[in-house]
Amino acid sequence: MTLSTVELNAIREAIDDLFPDTCNILSVTQVSDGAGGITDTWGTTYYSIPCRLDFPNPGKESQANASYVPFKAGIVSMGYSQTVTTANRLKVGTETYDIKGVNVNQSWIGVKRLAVERVP
């Protein structure tokens, strides 16, 4: 059985209502620092996108400079039609995440999944 475009879009809209979190999608602008270098400035491109942040594999803490560094990789799920790439960042609550990968090969599930890592 194949879903029509109308049916698939209805499913995707219904899924958006199930996400408990919201996030902002950030894009970078590179600005000259006046001394021959470039400074990255992150600004919000999309606001209050329904999403879900999960940490499916708690992983292990690592040790750096005599202190523990918590595991910081997670998965963000959002509506499949949302525009986002690995060039973007996400802000969920007060934390910012680099996008390490985007699952775009499973449109039938109605959800886009992003592999993310917390920015230190």
pLDDT tens-digit readout, 41-97 = 999 999 999 999 998 766 555 555 666 656 678 999 998 889 999 999 999 999 999
Number of domains the chain contains: 1
CATH number at residue 27: 2.40.10.370
* Average pLDDT of the residues of the chain: 85
Percent of the chain with pLDDT over 70: 83
pTM over 0.85: no
Q: What share of the chain is helix, strand, coil (3-state, %, to 5)?
A: 10, 50, 35
Confidence at residue 58, expressed as pLDDT on a 0 to 100 scale: 60
Amino acid 64: pLDDT: 58
Which distant-in-sequence residues (6+ apart) come within 8 Å of 48 by Cβ? 22, 23, 24
Containing domain of residue 92, as a range? 5-31+38-118
